[in-house]
Amino acid sequence: MLPAVITKIVGWAVAIFYDVERTGPELVSGPVLVTANHPNALIDPLVIFHTGGRTTRPLAKAPLFEQLFVGTVLKGLGGLPVYRRQDDPELMHLNERTFDAAIGALHAGEAVQIYPEGQSHSEPAMTRIRTGAARIALMAEERAEWALGLRIQPVGLTYARKHLFRGRAMAAFGPPLDVVPFRELYERDPREAARALTDEIRRRLEELTLNFEHPRDQELVDVAERLWARDQGLAKAREREAMATRLPRLQRFAEGLRWLRQVDSDRLERLRKDVDRYLGLIKLLGVRDGDLPSRFRTSSVIQYAVIQLTMLVLVFPVAVVGAVFWAIPYYLTRTLVPRFRPKHDQVATYKLSLAFLLFPLWLGLIGVTVGMVMSWKTAAAASLLLPLAGLAAISWRDRGSRVLEDARIFLRARRRSDALDRVQELRRSLVADLNDVARSWQEERRSRREAG
């Protein structure tokens, strides 16, 4: 039961650190190899733990197993070490043992998760996919005389503000892939079969993720999709749509951007400059997340203010208790992490790892102090209620930040109506340009289909 308990705990923790979403079919039962992209270090398996619905044994780089906290958790989850050349080339022969252990777990009907890119990164697109996952899957079926029924299930992981507390994370589960159809090719040429299966894994992962040629492309696509969705009546200006809802549209816009770069790079640069101007204007008016309303109706503003302020006032007493009590470990986590100078894709891992250490220690210290000064019953009650107060503080913080931003936008828009007019004019121009690009793209696609 230990892996199941640890899975629940770390999954619950990542759901506090992030606003986590899930989409797609359930993780299948029986032997399954979960393959995912790797944009956020140790946070990636935690998101899968939280959203997968069943315990999955992770493959992780060998040095992690030597760390006190992370290594203990990985061992408790039945994790399997992967020996990489860049860590220690002399230990790479031990990967045969890891492959055997992974195959043994699959033969026992377990779920194993692996990251075919081989390392975490912050690149705008997936990096080269390695053949390890494919080789494990094919060898597992071969040793079971192709009667195992093993399936590979891809999971696309997407993050927004991944280095920040209360950023957003989404796990997109794809349909499972059967391994048996690769039997004939494997028996003829094992290496070619591994390459073919690896290519299929990559193709399926790309269907579940966002991939860009350049880092700046993501901002352009994000703004373009928001404007288009609003123009089509699919979303409101200040609505925070689910990542699962936006992902298919964002992928479509990313595809269109790649086409535009090929056929008219000058037009793409003009569009990028207009988007930069638009972002500059809405940020001047206080927008940090989302878009700017075209106008503010008095009745809607009053209704919004009454509802949001009522909710904030009701939760405020409990939220204050939670914020005050947890302030010290929260502050220590924020200030200590930069001292380690982690890479961008490792920031959240360091934060969550420190939080796993500091927050329970702090709760234990307070519990012991209360028990010695007052009573152990009071200490037990505090140990149960204070985490709930912390959750209330997080909820209050999320809502309060949003309300504060909305209030700032409203006040600045009232003072600078000329800027609001310029925003609306530029928005209309951008939407017209986007629609024109979309028509050109669709016409070319139609012409290609007819010609083909």
Q: Whole-structure pTM over 0.85, yes or no? A: yes
Strands 56-61 and 111-114: parallel
Strand, helix or coil for residue 156: strand
Same domain, 53 and 103: yes
Residue 230 lies inside a defined structural domain of this protein:
yes
Same domain, 132 and 72: yes
Residue 437 lies inside a defined structural domain of this protein:
no
Convert the pLDDT of each residue in 344-389 to its tens digit.
988 998 899 899 889 999 999 999 999 999 999 999 999 999 999 9
Residue 288: its pLDDT value, please? 85
In the block, residue with structure tokens 């400059």: 273
Q: For residue 144, what is the domain's CATH number?
A: 3.40.1130.10
Residue 137: its pLDDT value, please? 97
pLDDT at 449 over 70: yes
Residue 68 or residue 218, greater confidence: 218
Residue 74: its pLDDT value, please? 79
CA atoms within 13 Å, Cβ hemisphere of 93: 1
> What total number of domains does the chain contain?
3
Convert the pLDDT of each residue in 11-63 to its tens digit.
899 999 999 999 999 999 999 999 999 999 989 999 999 999 898 999 888 88
Same domain, 153 and 35: yes
Same domain, 96 and 244: no
User: How far apart are alpha carbons 226 and 220 in whole angstroms?
Assistant: 10
DSSP code per residue over 88-152:
-GGGGGGHHHHHHHHHHHHHTT-EEEE-TT-S----SS--PPPSHHHHHHHHHHHHTTT-S--EE
Show the tokens assigned to 133.
């996952």
Residue 434 lies inside a defined structural domain of this protein:
no
Cβ atoms of 34 and 201 closer than 8 Å: no
If you average pLDDT over residues 404-428, what whole number do you get?
A: 90
User: 174, 206, 238: which is the final residue of a domain?
Assistant: 206
CA atoms within 13 Å, Cβ hemisphere of 39: 23
Residue 80: its pLDDT value, please? 86
pLDDT at 427 over 80: yes
Residue 201 lies inside a defined structural domain of this protein:
yes
User: How far apart are alpha carbons 285 and 292 in whole angstroms?
Assistant: 8
Strand, helix or coil for residue 40: coil
Convert the pLDDT of each residue in 270-297 to its tens digit.
999 999 999 999 999 999 888 888 888 8
Residue 50 lies inside a defined structural domain of this protein:
yes
Same domain, 157 and 84: yes
Same domain, 221 and 202: no
User: 264, 285, 306: which is the final residue of a domain?
Assistant: 285
pLDDT at 395 over 80: yes
Least confident of 112-121, 195-204, 231-240, 364-373: 231-240
Residue 368: its pLDDT value, please? 94
Same domain, 175 and 38: yes
**Considering the chain, what is the average pLDDT of its residues?**
92
Same domain, 267 and 309: no
Residue 152: its pLDDT value, please? 98
Which letter, b or e, does each residue of 304-313 get, where b requires 16 or more Cβ atoms within 10 Å of its Cβ? beeebeeeee
Residue 452: its pLDDT value, please? 67
Residue 197: its pLDDT value, please? 98
Residue 10: its pLDDT value, please? 86
pLDDT tier, 1 (very low <50, low <70, confident <90, very high otherwise): low
Same domain, 41 and 144: yes
CA of 152: how far to CAs of 97, 166, 336, in Å? 21, 31, 39
Same domain, 150 and 11: yes
**Domain span holding position 88:** 2-206
Residue 435 lies inside a defined structural domain of this protein:
no
Residue 387 lies inside a defined structural domain of this protein:
yes
User: 206, 236, 270: which is the final residue of a domain?
Assistant: 206
Same domain, 322 and 265: no
Which residues make Cβ contacts (< 8 Å) with residue 262, sequence separation at least 6?
none
Same domain, 122 and 16: yes
pLDDT at 390 over 90: yes
Residue 154 lies inside a defined structural domain of this protein:
yes
